[in-house]
Amino acid sequence: MAVKHITTKEIARKVVTNEETTILDVRNTDEFDDWKIEGGSVHVINEPYFNLLDGIEDVEHKLDKDQEIIVVCAKGGSSQMVAEMFDEAGFTDVYSLEGGMKAWSEHLEPTKIADLNGGGSLYQFVRLGKGCLSYFIESDGEAAIVDANRMIDVYEKFAEEKGVTIKHTIDTHLHADHISGGRNLAEKAGGTYHLPEKDATEVTYEYSSLEEGNDITVGNTTVKVQPLYSPGHTIGSTSLIIDDQYLLTGDILFVESIGRPDLAGKAEDWVGDLRNTLYSRYKELSDDLIVLPAHFSFSSELGEGGQVSARLGELYEKNKGLQVEDEEKFRSMVTDNLPPQPNAYEEIRKTNMGKVTPDDEEQREMEIGPNRCAVHE
């Protein structure tokens, strides 16, 4: 029997539908500890492929011969080898993940959030492998994409399927954890790329300034996108209110955590802005707004169908980052709990500024690993 292959799309389905899934991750343990496939009812065991070269005895007993086993590695080569060994040992339902964790890091899963007033729709693209969330707003033949990932073909294909033209791409801030696809998408589609001016002081390209008062419309004034200046993760961070109902918070507020202020090396300066945005600017908004962040950090943040969202009012009750009344305590909570910085974040920022242009393979390598944009206790 030959080893079967499974795609990232099929795994994404299993994650969002909570299907019982057993994964054997054969990468080295450091990489495994750094990030892995999580969420839903996924069970993962780790045994580096190089410990299995002489045989699979050490892990064989942990698994049943007739259960489904998905072997995963960095790029798909070692998982193929290990899957073959399991197959030869009499395991009957063994798969190797095509393209490995590298492909998983790039997989985008679109999910519909809502129908908008005036006949449009809002979609969330969940990048399960990296925790990045981007948004696709379509109305009346036009589309705007917010915080687009590097893999622009996915959005292009989606636009084509929906029969809409990409008019606007918007980044809520200059990203440090992933390479933005916003500029490329806009260039290819002849649309406009919007970026907050305060985050764009060093960029090398033309853009349209994303600022309060300059509303963006999608499809003949039907859907209104209102920028709201909300600094803290970066000095220019700007949230978007869509159709008076949805609050796209970028990397300022997540479902179970809040943004980190340090990725441009200015934690001390920006923590005050972050506090002000979270504890006064957002507080003035309606509790009924649905928060749609640019990231999730925990698989527990994935809701039904893999969506990540929450009512603003609910976050003011439950999100731990919003419960710290004392300003000094807030300051130390944020600056004392900074997680390790995202992989290659300085290079990623430079790439997003247009200062460097790594080739495709280098860009993929730079993005490997978790996003680490949040602070949590």
Residues 47 to 76 in contact with another protein, rule: CB under 8 A: 48-51, 53, 73-75
Nearest distance in Å: CB 129, another protein:
16
Q: Of 210, 290, 201, 298, whose CA–CA distance to 256 is shortest?
A: 298
Rule CB under 8 A: choose which of 29, 67, 332, 357 binds another protein.
29
Nearest CB to another protein, comparing residues 130 and 194: 130
Nearest distance in Å: CB 76, another protein:
9
What is the C-alpha to C-alpha distance for residues 375 and 333, in angstroms, rounded to an integer? 9
78 contacts another protein (rule: CB under 8 A): yes
369 contacts another protein (rule: CB under 8 A): no
Q: Of 297, 278, 282, whose CA–CA distance to 375 is shortest?
A: 297
Nearest distance in Å: CB 28, another protein:
4
Rule CB under 8 A: choose which of 44, 45, 63, 81 binds another protein.
81
Nearest CB to another protein, comparing residues 31 and 156: 31
Rule CB under 8 A: choose which of 7, 18, 22, 28 binds another protein.
28
Nearest CB to another protein, comparing residues 257 and 343: 343
45 contacts another protein (rule: CB under 8 A): no
Could you count the other beta carbons within 10 Å of the beta carbon of residue 125?
A: 22
Catalytic residues: 73
Using the contact rule CB under 8 A, the part of the chain among 25-33, 194-202, 204-212, 238-246 near another protein is 25-33
Could you count the other beta carbons within 10 Å of the beta carbon of residue 246?
A: 22
Nearest distance in Å: CB 358, another protein:
13
363 contacts another protein (rule: CB under 8 A): no
Asked if 164 contacts 156 with a C-beta cutoff of 8 angstroms, the reply is no
84 contacts another protein (rule: CB under 8 A): no
205 contacts another protein (rule: CB under 8 A): no
Nearest distance in Å: CB 140, another protein:
46
Nearest CB to another protein, comparing residues 80 and 341: 80
365 contacts another protein (rule: CB under 8 A): yes
Nearest CB to another protein, comparing residues 30 and 57: 30
By CB under 8 A, how many residues form the interface with another protein?
16
Residues at the interface with another protein (CB under 8 A)? 28-31, 48-51, 53, 73-75, 77-78, 81, 365
